[in-house]
Amino acid sequence: MSGIEIGLLAVVVMLVLIYIGMHISIALMAVSFTAIALLRDTGLATRMVAAAANDSLSNYLYGVVPLFVLMGLLVVNSGVGRDTFDVFQRLLQRIRGGLGVATVGANGVFASITGVSVASAAVFTKVAVPEMRRHGYTPKFSVGVVAGSSVLGMLIPPSLLMIVYGVLAEQSVGRMFIAGIIPGLLLASAFCLAIFLLARFMPAFMETNPAAHHEAQPQAYGPRREMLYKLVPILLLMVLVLGGLYSGFFTPTEAGGVGAFGALMLALVKRRLSWRGFYGLLGETGHVAVSILFLILAASLYSRMLALTGLPMNIAQWVTSMDLGLYQFLFIYLLIIILMGCIIDSVSIMLIVLPIVLPIAQFFGMDLIWFGVITVVAVEIGLVTPPFGISVYTVKASLNDPSVPVQEIFKGVMPFFLTMLIVLAILVAFPALSTYLAHRY
């Protein structure tokens, strides 16, 4: 067989293995090793595995992964998520749909520290959903707004998906973080607008008894100034990490280390962390970080295998010979990404698709920062699409309420799914929204 045929067969076999349940890392490694052995010999395949492990994991930049994971877990443990929601709830409780907007706002602030959508979904399912249901919101809206707004964790920096994309596309992780600011704020604002429109035009979707609507009576939260003090710790952590990163004072890895230390101090000051709990968090950090780094190792070998077959360049030449316009190509690409999100998790989609698609993006002369932002948004849409929808299943597991089936959560998340599609279209039409800050600083 020719190199192109082996490359195509490898991609098909890999997708089949993933679909039948094999772990993405194992599938990537096994298929890549076998394909290289068929192309050349087993000795070269073995040496390429060793080279991929050394080149992909010895990079200083990868230290950012466990550091940001640890920081996110410490922030979750410190109870900052609940404090943030309490403040937004206090400020917006008199507005119709205010608790939904409070959830989006709290998720946005929380996302600027954790960088993981699943963490946001787990925290706010336990914090926000009981409050919204107690105040007369429907179960599907209550869980839908949590699952929908949790995707902000992968767009608002720091974001693990931005790190993965920066590594695969050989783009500055710091610039990718900066590029996510405006799109992240735009998406959060669009979610808030969607909630206001639901309250105005589809009140039955949001409230159990729209005709008798009245916002919940103000609760005894204490003085507003006292409530705002609850935001001080997370705001200080945001200024410490993001301020140092965007000013150029920290590299992304250094920012992760400073952020993890700051989150540790925050958890200790709030007396929410024991030695046993800290040991458990370190173990959980190791599990998450190793799984991500092993995926990156497997993706590195996969990329080398594809380059050896010549498949990416041949696909790029084939696409350009079809005389597809830039936006025609983007439409097909983003559609494929969203459809893959129905069955595969976010990181896996990027690891599988980007080594093939990045040469095509370069052929079209695209700005790879902009391309990365719209890729992350499209991949994030997969977090809320059936049947996979990892954020939806995280909400379901965290809620642990048999009266709210998975189908109800998917119904509740539909307005936010449509909102994300609209925001994706805006980002595609106006690249400057993604690139202005990244190229300015």
Print pLDDT tens along the chain (441 aa): 777 888 888 888 877 887 777 877 788 888 888 888 888 878 878 888 888 777 666 666 667 778 777 877 787 777 776 777 777 777 777 777 788 888 888 777 777 666 666 666 777 777 778 878 877 888 888 888 888 888 887 788 777 788 888 888 888 888 888 898 899 999 999 999 999 999 888 888 887 765 554 444 444 445 566 666 777 777 787 777 777 776 777 777 787 788 888 888 888 887 778 888 888 888 888 887 777 777 777 877 877 787 788 777 777 677 667 777 788 889 888 988 888 777 666 777 887 788 888 888 888 889 999 999 999 999 888 778 876 666 777 777 777 777 778 888 888 889 999 999 999 999 999 999 999 888 776
* Calpha distance 44→33 (Å, rounded): 9
Considering the entire predicted model, what is its pTM?
A: 0.76
Q: What mean pLDDT is reported for the chain?
A: 80
Say which amino acid occupies 412: G
pLDDT of residue 61: 62
pLDDT of residue 222: 53
CA distances from 344 to 136, 242, 381 (A): 35, 31, 12
pLDDT of residue 220: 47
Question: Per residue in 91-134, pLDDT tens?
Answer: 777 777 788 888 888 777 777 666 666 666 777 777 778 878 87
* Calpha distance 17→340 (Å, rounded): 14
pLDDT of residue 388: 62
Task: Give the residue from 111, 101, 83 showing the smallest Cα distance to 416.
Answer: 101
Strand (E) or helix (H) holding 183 = helix 181-201
* Calpha distance 266→234 (Å, rounded): 9
pLDDT of residue 217: 47
Q: Which two tokens stand for residue 86?
A: 């309490």
Question: 331 Cβ partners below 8 Å, 6+ apart?
Answer: none
Strand (E) or helix (H) holding 380 = helix 368-381
The answer to whether residues 349 and 384 touch, using CB atoms and an 8 Å cutoff, is no
Phi/psi of residue 97, nearest 5 degrees:
80, 10
Could you give the residue ranges of the DSSP H alpha helices within 20-63? 24-39, 42-57
How many residues does the structure list for the chain?
441
pLDDT of residue 26: 85
Say which amino acid occupies 263: A
Phi/psi of residue 360, nearest 5 degrees:
-70, -45
3-state secondary structure of 262: helix
